Amino acid sequence: MVTATRFEESRADRPVNLSVITAQDIRNSPARTVPDLLSEQAGIIIHDFFGNNATTTTVDMRGFGITGGQNTLILVDGRRIVDIDLSGVQWSAVPLSAIERIEIVRGGGSVLYGEGATAGVINIITRQPEGTNVVVRGSAGSFDARDGAVHGSLSRGGLGMSFFASHFESDGYRRNNENRQTNALADLRWSGAMGELSLKLASDNQGTRLPGPRTVQPSAGIDQVSTDRRGTATPLDWAQREGNRVLFDWRRDVPFGEFNVGAGWRDKNQRSYFDFGGFPDYREVDLTVRSLSPRVKVNLPVAGRPNTFIVGFDLYDWDYGRRVSNNPANIGRPINDIDAREQTAGLYVLDTLGVTDRLSVSAGARRERLKIDATDRFDPTAPGAFFGSAAPASSQRLYRNAYDLGARYQLTPTTAAMAKTAQSYRFANVDEIYEFSPFFTNQFQFLRPQTSRSHEIGVETRGVTRGARLTLFEIDVTDEIHLDPFTAGIGNRNLPPSRRRGVELEANARPVPQLHLAAAYSFIQAKFREGTLTGSPFGTSLAGRTVPLVPRHKLTVKSSWDFSAATRLSAVATYVGEQFMDNDEPNTLGVKIPSYTLVDLKLTHRVGQWLLSATLNNVLGEKYYNYAVRSQFVADRYNAYPLPGINGLVTAEYRFR
């Protein structure tokens, strides 16, 4: 069962480029976090700053680089967790052991999900109540990592309940890299004459230290990546984040199809401190989001052929507040106090028709409205307010449209061809509009919405012991929303037009029952089509330049071997090609993020009710990093973020029945 159309249905003949990471895939993988697991898939790249429980990791699908986190929509149980700021997804709030499956829908997804789904949608489905059991788990590993968890399920008749709680601690690979994470989730379900009701509750708390970058500047003889890759230049920096969410769903079968209504509430509180060499910056951010998503699936045969019509409405309402001071003790009198209220409301339709027994086509459209009102208050008498200003109150109102057309043709009982074209869009978030004017006063700089048009064709085959998928895609982006650190007085801007072209190839086989093999290769060419980067001291022309942080080649090879019914060895090897650094849009630095190869192993053994496992990551001890940023002012200076060498984890798990 999958939810690619926002309704649960069997994975069959929908014209959707869909991959599913199953619970068994998760158990087999040596990945420890959701981003690590996703990086095994074709067309997905991650950029990790600190390598400690995915604290600040960005997932990028189909070559958007540093803005990948705003162009790939991340959902948990069908609700977006990509917020209207730049804080990023808190991946560690959803541990792997709490996940039932992950659905990846590639290609523009704005029709069904709205803004921000330019490259596709990743939907993380958490565990549902199933049977009666309790599982207790404990882990210990490198860098003084400790992890404990308990989860269980209880089902009686039409009533079910599942729960999950965990606590993680690690000192991290680098100095000032400690991380603490606590999670709790609960899922209550009831099915009866009124249909199916579900209530999901979750809470998370994360505290992390921030080691900052390692600097390289050959002209000054500086190379901290080589001389002190585990060091820190920011020993006082830290961040704290707490969140809660409540999700309600009601699903009911009706004579003409199915009815579903979802409602959600989520809050997030973030506190961060950056010393900045004795010029401290302390911030508190509070965010609350409420959502309502009713939708209906109607079975409407056309000329005797199966036809499904879906209509739905999405309402998201966000309250955002940011207070800025020089010290936690002074936050009661903030220097700046920014408030924003954003609301998006979208109406969408999707129709899928079985034209023949082999051919199915789909067509969909969405109309979405954005409203945002923002204010800023500046207190010149607040502690630390040596200079500053308040941004004038501002508002924005606009509409955007999306569409998609798709077709799937069943060439043989096991092989099908697919084609899709779509238009998607993205709105600028609050952090992308609050910036300095050319006179260095605060202001809200509203940007044009980003628009993209994507096209893809593919063929896939599914068999009992083997399968494969080949996809070719092209994405043209206009008014791409992006940070521009070069131009004085402008923090963000709409970039010149760009184009992503690529090939994704996935294959898997089980030559013998005990052995499973899989491979995923992607080639992505991301280039600017035209235009200039005004104000850059390192070159202005962007025509034909490569988008930073997009490797052209990526290859992953996976295998798992069952030595016996109780023992399995899994291995994953990933090669990622070189990339231009962030801020190097002109491609003139002369140094790239080097290519790297990672090999991970996992051995599991079951003894009665015990499940024992040992994981070894980066077996080759590769000294690598996958994020670096070019200096705004010094021609040969850049900052890199080294990631861990060889490291391991052992886990013991006991299941009570």
Q: What is the pLDDT of residues 397-406, one digit of tens each?
A: 999 999 999 9
CATH number at residue 539: 2.40.170.20
What pLDDT score does 552 carry?
97
Domain that holds residue 199: 18-656
DSSP result, 346-399: EEEEEEEEE-SSSEEEEEEEEEEEEEEEEEEEE-TTSTT-SS---PPPEEEEEE
Domain assignment present for residue 7? The answer is no
- The β-bridge partners of 494 are 481
DSSP result, 567-613: EEEEEEEEEE--BPPBT-TT--SS--BPPEEEEEEEEEEEETTEEEE
What pLDDT score does 171 carry?
96
What pLDDT score does 425 carry?
95
What pLDDT score does 633 carry?
85
Q: What is the DSSP letter of 438?
A: T
What pLDDT score does 436 carry?
76
Domain assignment present for residue 6? The answer is no
Contact between 358 and 409 (Cβ < 8 Å):
yes
> Strand 638-640 relative to strand 628-630: parallel, antiparallel, unpaired?
antiparallel
Domain assignment present for residue 170? The answer is yes
Domain assignment present for residue 60? The answer is yes
CA 189 to CA 195: how far, in whole Å? 11
Please tell me the number of Cα atoms within 13 Å of 54 on its side-chain side. 21
Backbone phi, then psi, for 319, in 5-degree steps? -115, 125
Domain assignment present for residue 13? The answer is no
What pLDDT score does 539 carry?
57
Q: What is the pLDDT of residues 308-362, one digit of tens each?
A: 999 999 999 999 999 999 999 999 999 999 999 999 999 999 999 999 999 999 9
Domain assignment present for residue 245? The answer is yes
Ranges under pLDDT 70 in the chain: 1, 11-13, 438, 483-492, 534-539
Backbone phi, then psi, for 539, in 5-degree steps? 125, 140
Please tell me the number of Cα atoms within 13 Å of 402 on its side-chain side. 32
Domain assignment present for residue 433? The answer is yes
Q: Alpha carbon of 220 to those of 20, 288, 365: distances in Å?
A: 49, 47, 56
Domains contained in the chain, number: 1
CA 388 to CA 386: how far, in whole Å? 7
Domain assignment present for residue 331? The answer is yes
